[in-house]
Chain A
């Protein structure tokens, strides 16, 4: 069954604006990861946040994790046209040491 579910499914913003994407999941996790995928390319790892962490930063990216609400958010500040991509959250699976369960993704369009 699907674990991570991103919201919104699609987001269109102007360059320079902030973009916020949300991820909800169903079962307890040890960690949650965010990935980006440009059209026709593979996924690129952005950030991994562990269940005992609440917030993590990497450059213009800020990820929060609320385990009580089983949700995470990815904030991209001062967006650029190059940020146009699909963004996926992925959680570890309780029944496997290797499986990552991906959501369906948020398609972000940053207009120049």
Chain B
């Protein structure tokens, strides 16, 4: 139990579907992250929210739409995805000290394995 819960664990969807990934953290952290992990590629940061405000958006296609309604929940809304979007999507959280979250450990959920047909 890492304190970060992601649902669903597995998702298969067609390219025309709309679905959402959910992340919830029970650690009292104030920064949350979405990462994409593809086979044989380094982990890619997609979005960062600090205190419910988006602070990073790493040139992610608009077919991925994040939402952070409060500091404990993070969503990733998906629509008209492409086959190359098949990957493991990881959510993480950290405490936001000293002007940034990258000087603190990040706590990851177990991810959603996404397959696009």
Contacts and interface: CB of A to CB of B under 8 A. Distances in A.
Nearest to B40: A104
B102 interface: yes
B30 to A, nearest CB: 12
Interface in B12-35: 31, 33
Contacts of B100: 92, 96-98
Interface of A: 2, 4, 30-31, 33, 35, 40-45, 48, 50, 88, 90, 92-93, 96-105
Nearest to A48: B105
B111 interface: yes
B29 to A, nearest CB: 12
Contact of A43 (B6, B56, B90, B113): B90
B82 interface: no
B90 A99 contact: no
